[in-house]
Structure 1
């Protein structure tokens, strides 16, 4: 990038997403004192990689869209492409990609909580968690609740949000067009909480239970599934297993992959593990509903043990002092 002309460099930057621009810009500041030999090595390496690339390795959309349009005509091509084109990234407001968490929080802090929820639902879960944590603690549970309750958002609403942000930032945003977009929901709210610090979860979720018990429970269930138990180390997994009755454990492990089953049984004594295996084989086929219900019981036990400090479960990154 430092070797090509300004126009060529600008054209390349326009093809990159915000995070790539930030990383590339940072790297460009760091290469001011590279040697001629290093420059030659980089150029040789780049040419070698460029020759190895084919058109297939790049964004296929323009080629496929052009091919479909020429073959079928605009109307038929649009109809086919609408059914086969992979969905775009969730974010409908491109301007948000260029702002960091503090800037976004400053923009929405004085807005109505519903507006804040719409903006946060447009963000990657990790960034959304950062923005939520920066906002005043008093409004965090309400905003998370609104994120969980969001549904389809009309293109007009998206345009209104774009206009509001553009007026505050001084930047324009392209039109969205098309049909309504799906934002938020309990799964999205759960992802935000999973990305947040444990202290944030411990503070927000009890308050959310008071606002809407059903939504809070749905978020907690979406935050933690049976496979998450594999994140426990052997010691904590062993403690969990000792708190589960054998009948529930047999049912819960009946429907998992062999690798998951082996991990669980590996935290038990050989005699106990053999007993569980024998019991699973003797029971034969089991209803999926029974398996899932037993897994929910195990998850509930795990969450209970984690709340009282008996086991330590993974979560968002905590601060250390």
Structure 2
């Protein structure tokens, strides 16, 4: 029986980072190849933030993992339980849940849940000929980034209408969701049922648009505003775009700056208003601000798509910090917690 170890001072992600860094670059890279983008980003961030980890702490993390392997392996425990136990111990409950879903649930999912495991282009091909209301329900059920990419692969003439339908979607009856789930099961494999009927709404529409390319976002919003100006305005109020960072307080900007690379910041600021640039400069040391100005001045012409990509990356970090309560984002409709 494995002995109990004292509670670690590191978070689950940090323990995972310590464990992987102790394996060496080649082995760590092999493990990361089996993880999704979000998991890789979180563990990568933990790796980058770790400083002065003592040999004692490394030994404790390795002992924890070794104890679990010795305790669980070949004792008749089910494979699924073994995976859950190892991941939760190595990564912590919160971090492990998403990975457990990806490993254990994704392989057997059906219906709506199964769509989350498909490439957005494949999802678009599957639903493009369905009734627009069905498509809106499906898009509302997906994660915003996957939904945005799926929407971009659907015909342009449908996109504004779908955002309107998503924004006005006020929940779906469980029976209707179950029926849709069964329809999709005939095209997919696995097993799962809808967990919630609370999908759709103005916030969902805004979240999806936040992940769209700027040009497509503008086209879609123009179409929405033409049909329903009040609804379009409500959607815009819930959206948070790069220029809105000027409304974030100084402490929030400083927190954000610690999370982003200089290369991304330079690219993003190439397309920013002077007011936002000045705010960024004010929240840096004098030397750092001078270097950033020099980088901006010496940076040659860049593609608009590269600027938009950098801005989207920074916005994704800002939303993550807002979700964890570290900063407050002030959107077009005023200051709000996202």
**What TM-score comes out, normalization by structure 1 length?**
0.47
TM-score for the superposition, normalised by structure 2: 0.45
